[in-house]
Structure 1
């Protein structure tokens, strides 16, 4: 029977003693680290993804040592890089206790933490039948590791059968140069290789291999779980996968320069209102590589520059809507970050030389030529502008929220999302806790450059920090503190979100007014 390893966080000597006992070694400052300068895609948004940059570096050779490193921090947000070498398995992955961690045996548990990098070094890091679980966490980098044969049934089990799984209020994760693989499908005890659910956002999967599995990965656990969005997949190899490459339920995904080989049932499955931007991918020896499958809840796609090499397409029916044999765009998706496309014809070559663990972290230069990134390159500055927090000038013109739709992340009992657009200061929306978001949405693109957040009586001054986002793209339009009139560069969008990130009590938003200027 495994016993928890206790850790006292306040004493450096105790931390070193536990590290030695569990297989963790303190690394020298000049040791190799993750190439955080290469972060791309949606993980660059929402403040960016830097992982453990600027913090301590620890070497770990067991799963218990990884947990010990997490538990040895001053608090759950202290930056930390964990360099992993060797095989992580059930026999060496125990629970460790501490105030800066929430771990469990038999799974690498990144739960209720932030600012952590896990990177394979030396002879490589293999997580054998042990999954990596990210829950209620943010700013996480997982790089240069192999995760294989994680099971949800049979023995041993880990992480619900997901190689890497993210769920419940996860933000800003970059998974890069990993190899994620199984040895069969659900009937053999395996589940997804790369799953996101229950409000996971701003994730990039890059230069990775996903293979030999029934399920590549999903975004959204069901057609009512539509809170997951802003995911980028690029320069990945999907090989010998039945389906879910990926399965998208709601949200926005950017899928470019990936190589798909041997998809036996379906590939990119856009459902339940999801919108996928699908650029310059190479699909080979596969079936139904893009469309809406196994449901009548339609999803959408924008396609350009893709190659379909020996791809077969099934017929259309009420719950089967393949995009081919001549895929055409049925939506438009804009992304808020810069990126460079390799030509689709060279994608197989570039991906074969760069994707996966232990490939030297090489990336494409955008001209079909792999190169080694400079780990000293600074992480790109967050693209979020920092405008003046509020504008005292009252807005003029038509309040565009009147007659629009609304939704949000949560609502307290007795309140409604619709109360922020009814013109009545006597009704209001409150989140179920001290933070949360509410959105105004339209059926077509609407120009907005100013909003007025009006608090209900008894709540004035309770909002201490917020951000305003273009919910179509994930771009942050403004951030600051206090309610009132907020201005930002003119944006054309279908949905705008006001997210309360800090408050002194229970916020009460009576009106979320929107204006063109």
Structure 2
């Protein structure tokens, strides 16, 4: 049974009919528990222990906040559907301080916002957290938030926090844009002006000029104690993140196609950078665009096809052989996945509407929780650069271990928006394409492997592969040739590199996965 609440907005009335009565489970909460810095300082529990309501509009979200007994009364707001400017109005009340055109979590505490059902998409509408504490945001997509053009929201930030914010856990979200500042977008995940004890986990951040920042200027150094783990940053120009002052713990993240720079530690910031996987990127760690030095402690990271610029007055890249220049301690326990399996683990767990799986810390994942709020996949954003996964044209994959997971990769060329690493991330929604109808892609290892079978899995939307050759990439010897894709067998060969060479195709092909097997 639902009730319609008539809310006065200016001179008119808006019916917040999407707000449901509290659900039966009075103790509903986010799936799992906060990790990293969000688990410190007393922990982050959001609306745990309070009532649960369902909302399908932004106005209903604001109404749920405004009709609480107080600004600190615990509440979980389950969100389903598309939240946009047309259904997000300002709502007034003693327990809230909201605004139209943005989800405003201002001067409040003890709130969980969680996507359920077919998914929650905040379309061109940002989430703004200000002067608040104990907030959880889980299992939502926020896309195409603009600071210029039309419509605008939240200063162009997908999720933004500022001014005395404490204990926020943002988990299993997808944050994306469709360009950089010139197209009207700003950061995907920005914090500034005294924000502490925050964790961003199992998130996808993609297709943006700016990933995010901690501190808005060289003098705004009062924020910190922030953890980033098991996130995927893809096709980002810079700021993954930009750090000014404070401490950030950055571990088990997968970075692909960082086009200008990555983790930018400056103005005295200290970054603890553990067991991350960086690939097909430039200047992934250092101090950039300033002479205000920052610091880092590095261990266990993999740098795969990463290029580094030369040091200069305003440029201090950590590579090509990154070493620590500080030490950093954190006040919580954590378990690291080996960096070699980070691409596959992150592919299986990060982002909204994946069942809220997590890593076990042993290069494997948990099963989908029975309490997962996701019951069906949401529609992918129309602006996403990644196609929907398709069924492989090959027969059942060979038995045994796919040796491509954790390996390296390179090739002859790559079309814009694609990556060599996409063929070994266990995710058919990502792919590699050559520049044209022909080209080659390789899987490589530090030590020789014996390979006798590969599986080429195409992703829909590309040209069909015609003639091919499989080469011993270390010697150039042809192991076999044929046409099409799928499982390809050949005489067992010990090598450090296997190459799949496409000699013809009906159009630009898309290789989603290049699996390799010993037998």
TM-score relative to the length of structure 2: 0.68
1:172 to 167, 179, 203: 167
Q: For residues 43 and 222 of structure 1, what CA distance do their matches in structure 2 show?
A: 24
Establish whether residue 339 from structure 1 lines up as the match of residue 341 from structure 2: no
2:7 to 5, 22, 31: 5
1:36 deviates by: 4.9
1:274 to 265, 269, 274: 269
2:302 to 277, 298, 307: 307
How far does the alpha carbon of each residue in 1:136-164 deviate from its partner, in whole angstroms, 9 at most, with x for none?
00000000000000000000000000000
Q: For residues 340 and 135 of structure 2, what CA distance do their matches in structure 1 show?
A: 33
Q: Which residue matches 1:120?
A: 115
2:51 to 48, 56, 62: 56
SS of the counterpart of 1:109? strand
Q: For residues 282 and 251 of structure 1, what CA distance do their matches in structure 2 show?
A: 23
Q: Which residue matches 2:36?
A: 41
Establish whether residue 78 from structure 1 lines up as the match of residue 80 from structure 2: no
SS of the counterpart of 1:368? coil
1:193-204 → structure 2 map (5 Å cutoff): 193-204=188-199
Q: Which residue matches 2:317?
A: 322
Q: Which residue matches 2:256?
A: 261
1:450-465 → structure 2 map (5 Å cutoff): none
1:26 deviates by: 2.2
5+ long unaligned stretches in structure 2: 1-5, 373-519
Q: For residues 244 and 126 of structure 2, what CA distance do their matches in structure 1 show?
A: 23
1:88 to 83, 94, 107: 83
Give the direction of change, closer, same or farther, for the CA distance of 1:124–1:36 in structure 2 (3 Å limit): closer
Instruction: Give yes or no for contact 1:85–1:124 (8 Å, CA) kept in 2.
Output: yes
1:35 deviates by: 3.5
1:376 deviates by: 8.2
Q: Which residue matches 1:495?
A: none
Q: Which residue matches 2:366?
A: 371
2:221 to 221, 226, 230: 226
SS of the counterpart of 1:193? strand
1:432-443 → structure 2 map (5 Å cutoff): none
1:178 deviates by: 0.1
2:136 to 135, 141, 148: 141
Give the direction of change, closer, same or farther, for the CA distance of 1:168–1:131 in structure 2 (3 Å limit): same
| Greater relative CO, 1 or 2 (CA 8 Å, sep 6+) | 1
1:407-486 → structure 2 map (5 Å cutoff): none
1:370 deviates by: 1.2
Instruction: Give yes or no for contact 1:140–1:172 (8 Å, CA) kept in 2.
Output: yes
1:28 deviates by: 2.4
Q: Which residue matches 1:390?
A: none
1:272 deviates by: 0.3
Q: CA RMSD in A?
A: 1.8
Instruction: Give yes or no for contact 2:282–2:306 (8 Å, CA) kept in 1.
Output: yes
Q: Which residue matches 1:242?
A: 237
Give the direction of change, closer, same or farther, for the CA distance of 1:77–1:19 in structure 2 (3 Å limit): farther
2:283 to 282, 288, 297: 288
> What is the number of equivalent residue pairs in this alignment?
364
Give the direction of change, closer, same or farther, for the CA distance of 1:316–1:241 in structure 2 (3 Å limit): same
SS of the counterpart of 2:43? coil
